[in-house]
């Protein structure tokens, strides 16, 4: 006995199906009307809200702009390197990076282009950076974590205030300006950094000298404590503040 084939019925051919689809469409229209997708409004004219992907270093970030990920190099400032193939890690480089990351995660991120070139030879966007409407470049300069650099007209819109902020930080010896001859017009002079030179502490000699612990114990069987005239760092092998104990 042959089985009867069931006829497939389209939902739109059923009165109930038509009503269901109509209700769904009406519901979507009502939702879009009362709950439209909110567009992020800029803090002020000229600023462009963007989404942060990650912080690369003190003066570079990766963002989503015009639907794709792009690196952004901060205009008019330069921070010490963190992992340069030739220069390596420079003083205050990590601190600048961490401060930049902290700022990036503290509010609404926006960028501002100048009137000139928008992309450098490495394909990075060139822009001024803002968090909650406040300049990130100005904060890094004020905290002595960046210097004014790479000044290429006509991208000089904020050069004057940047130089004034830098002058104040330099005068107060903040951050990079606390190391003599470190921040220069052509970059950062790592050789001027005292941190690169190991500090050799002079060995404290005893005021009452002994050739060795055997000789010292003849007079002081239990050894001597740091501060005692016979104490010598040479005889304090475990550096616990007692010699020849």
- Residues 190-209: tens digit of each pLDDT: 776 555 444 444 445 567 78
Provide the pLDDT for residue 67. 96
Task: Identify whether 34 is part of a domain.
Answer: no
Predicted local distance difference test score (pLDDT) of residue 131: 98
Task: Give domain status of residue 160, yes or no.
Answer: yes
Scanning the structure block, which residue is given the tokens 């004219």? 45
Which is more confident, 10 or 16? 16
- Name which of 230, 54, 30, 60 is nearest 140 in CA terms: 60
**Within a domain: 39:** no
3-class secondary-structure state, position 225: strand
- From the list 81, 110, 112, 138, the catalytic residue is 81
Q: What's the mean per-residue pLDDT of the chain?
A: 85
User: Which sign, positive or negative, has the C-alpha torsion 97, 101, 102, 108?
Assistant: positive
124 is catalytic: yes
Q: Which of 241, 23, 195 is nearest to 94 (CA)?
A: 195
Domains held by the chain: number: 1
Task: State the catalytic residue, choosing from 73, 110, 112, 138.
Answer: 73
Q: Coil, strand, or helix at residue 91?
A: coil
81 is catalytic: yes
Q: How far is CA 61 from CA 72, 153, 166, 187, in A?
A: 5, 23, 22, 20
Break the chain down into helix, strand, coil percent, rounded to 5.
Answer: 30, 20, 50
In a domain, 27, yes or no: no
Nearest CA-CA partner of 124 in 62, 53, 206, 64: 62
Is residue 154 included in any domain, yes or no? Answer: yes
Contacts of 170 (CB under 8 A, 6+ apart): 177, 183
Q: 99, 110, 112, 124: which one is catalytic?
A: 124
pLDDT digits (tens, 9 = 90+) for 140-156: 999 999 999 999 999 99
Q: Taking the CA of residue 187 as centre, how many other CA atoms within 13 Å lie in the half-sphere pointing to its CB? A: 7
Residue 88 within any structural domain of the chain: yes
| 111 vs 42, more confident | 111
Residue 18: the pLDDT is 74
Domain that residue 138 falls in: 48-178
User: Does residue 71 lie within any of the structural domains?
Assistant: yes
Give the CATH number for residue 64.
Answer: 2.40.50.90
Decide if pLDDT at 11 tops 60: no
6 is catalytic: no
- Quick one: which of 151, 150, 135 has its CA closest to 100? 135
pTM confidence score: 0.65
Specify whether the CB–CB gap between 145 and 58 falls below 8 A: yes
* Closest alpha carbon to 155 in 74, 75, 44, 47: 75
List, in sequence order, the alpha helices (H) in the chain: 15-34, 93-104, 136-142, 159-172, 213-219
Whether 208 is in a domain gets the answer no
Retrieve residue 56's tokens.
Answer: 């690369």
Distance CA(58)–CA(189), nearest Å, equals 17
Q: What is the pLDDT of residue 173?
A: 96
């Amino acid at each position: 006995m042959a089985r009867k084939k069931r006829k497939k019925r389209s939902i739109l051919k059923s009165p109930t199906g038509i009503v269901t689809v109509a209700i769904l469409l009406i519901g979507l229209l009502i939702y879009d009307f009362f709950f439209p997708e909110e567009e992020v409004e800029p803090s002020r004219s000229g600023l462009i809200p963007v989404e942060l992907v990650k912080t690369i270093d003190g003066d570079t970030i990766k963002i989503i702009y015009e639907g794709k990920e792009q690196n952004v190099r901060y205009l008019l400032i330069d921070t010490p390197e963190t992992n340069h193939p030739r220069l390596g890690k420079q003083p205050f480089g990590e601190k600048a990076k961490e401060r930049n990351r902290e700022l990036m995660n503290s509010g609404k991120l926006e960028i501002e282009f100048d009137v000139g070139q928008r992309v450098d030879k490495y394909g990075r966007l060139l822009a001024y950076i803002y968090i909650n409407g406040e300049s990130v470049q100005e904060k890094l300069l004020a905290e002595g974590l960046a210097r004014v650099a790479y000044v290429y007209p006509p991208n000089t819109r904020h050069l004057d205030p940047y130089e004034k902020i830098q002058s104040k930080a330099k005068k107060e010896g903040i951050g990079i300006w606390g190391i003599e001859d470190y921040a220069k017009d052509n970059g950062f002079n790592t050789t001027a950094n005292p941190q690169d030179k190991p500090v050799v502490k002079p060995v404290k000699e005893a005021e009452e000298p002994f050739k060795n612990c055997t000789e010292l114990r003849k007079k002081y069987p239990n050894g001597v404590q740091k501060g005692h005239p016979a104490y010598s760092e040479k005889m304090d092998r475990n550096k616990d503040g007692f010699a020849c104990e």
